[in-house]
Structure 1
Amino acid sequence: MPVMRADAARNLTAVLRAGARLLAEDPGTSMAAIAAAAGVDRTTVHRRFASREALLSAVFQAKLDSAEQVLDEARLTEAPVPVALHRYVEGIVPVSRQWPVDTRRMMQKDPVASARREEQSARLDAFVRRAVDEGHLRAGTDPQWARAVLDGLVDAAAHQFPGMEAPQAADLVTATLLGGLGTA
């Protein structure tokens, strides 16, 4: 694969981030509006992406790439549960803010992206089951419920409290999940 020039890479990143933000707000946002928000001309966007759907697909891939990196770095299967949970939340809150698009929308159109998202979801499900099995969450806690609570807390921290720094969000989500559903 050829190496991308630094300015081209910066432009691509700007287009993807602007696209993520604007398409999350309005899925009908024009390519011209995305180009303007990214600080590039419309032909730059059209040269790279044949359609809004192609751009949206690239945004979803970027979000999935970022989420996968967070999952890897959290060490969900190796690190102690509270540590892994904190790492996950501290990493995923900025990803959720940077890529605010809802990946469920893409799942109906892109089976590869859907499979990636399902694999990532399965990793989190296994982590939550591990938290229950190891006694970090009350015995009898439904892992699906705990996962839904975790997702809701992450979403709230990322989007309802956008000024909250990621480490603070991780502290709060970890304390709320482990304290609210925990054994204490």
Structure 2
Amino acid sequence: MGEKSPPRRIRADAERSTARILEAAETVLAEDATASLEQIADAAGLARATVHRRFASRAALLDALAERLSQRYLGGLAEARVKTAPPLIALHRVTEIVFDLKLCHRFAIQLTAALTPEVLDGLDLLFARLRDTGAITAVDPAWGRQVYLALLHEVHDMPADSPSLASSATADETEAKIDLLVRTTLGALGGSHGATA
């Protein structure tokens, strides 16, 4: 039994090192998208050889960041209960979660590889349910998802003093952006005034 303890400890150490590398990479790459693995190793407080053992190349590290974010997207879709919650509530909750992820994963959020087929299917299901309940009239869920994702980027990058945010009932900037994104998406997809309210 004692013989099995060292491999578990090594595995746990490796997992902790990997987590430290990914967290450091997220921070460093958000500041400098061209940062090297060596710069990431320094920020993680690990030897460069450790980073190279975990990630053979920069591309492998970016793939790991995208996979990590993809798992968080899937967790967000599950948390928002896109399959079972009232669709308008699920849309609002998904939007809150994605805005939070954009703050925590400023670099990885740009990696399109994080939008895996499973993530896209979850969003498509949400937009199909919005259509089926009459919240929108757009027939194609994939189109709804594309409109939503395009607007998401634009609304997220909107300055806090934008007149478009001033019309929101809340003073909180993030809540105002979430409200604007949901209302604009529903309106763009043929939602009625009652549905967007």
Tell whether the structures are fold-level matches, with TM greater than 0.5.
yes
Tell me whether 1:32 sits opposite 2:41 in the alignment. no
Structure 2 runs not aligned, ≥5 long: 1-6, 161-171
1:85-135 deviation digits (Å, cap 9, x = unpaired): 11101111222343333443x5xxxxxx8xx81121012112112111211
Q: Which residue of 2 aligns with 1:183?
A: 192
Q: Displacement of 1:72 after TM fit?
A: 0.7
In structure 2, relative to structure 1, the CA distance for the partners of 1:121 and 1:18 (3 Å cut) is: same
Amino acid corresponding to residue 149 of structure 1 in structure 2: V
Which of residues 41, 56, 81 is equivalent to 2:62? 56
- Cα distance in 1 for partners of 2:155, 2:41 equals 29
- Cα distance in 1 for partners of 2:86, 2:74 equals 19
Tell me whether 1:174 sits opposite 2:162 in the alignment. no
- Cα distance in 2 for partners of 1:166, 1:14 equals 28
Matches within 5 A, 1:2-81: 2=8, 4-5=12-13, 9=16, 11-20=17-26, 22-23=28-29, 28-81=34-87
Q: Displacement of 1:148 after TM fit?
A: 1.6
Count of residue pairs brought into register by the alignment: 171
Q: Displacement of 1:171 after TM fit?
A: 2.5
- Cα distance in 2 for partners of 1:94, 1:157 equals 14
1:46-83 deviation digits (Å, cap 9, x = unpaired): 23222222222211211111111001101011111111
SS at match of 2:12: coil
- Cα distance in 2 for partners of 1:8, 1:31 equals 18
SS at match of 2:143: helix
SS at match of 1:135: coil
- Cα distance in 1 for partners of 2:159, 2:71 equals 22
Structure 1 runs not aligned, ≥5 long: 107-112
- Cα distance in 2 for partners of 1:87, 1:146 equals 17
Q: Displacement of 1:174 after TM fit?
A: 1.6
Amino acid corresponding to residue 176 of structure 1 in structure 2: T
Task: Say which structure, 1 or 2, has more relative contact order (CA 8 Å, 6+ apart).
Answer: 1
Identity %: 35
Q: Which residue of 2 aligns with 1:151?
A: 149
Tell me if structure 1 keeps the 8 A contact 2:74–2:118.
no
TM-score where L is the length of structure 2: 0.70
Tell me if structure 1 keeps the 8 A contact 2:74–2:119.
yes
Cα RMSD after superposing both structures: 3.2
1:21-55 deviation digits (Å, cap 9, x = unpaired): 55577665311112233344423322322222222
Amino acid corresponding to residue 122 of structure 1 in structure 2: D
TM-score where L is the length of structure 1: 0.74
Q: Which residue of 2 aligns with 1:109?
A: none
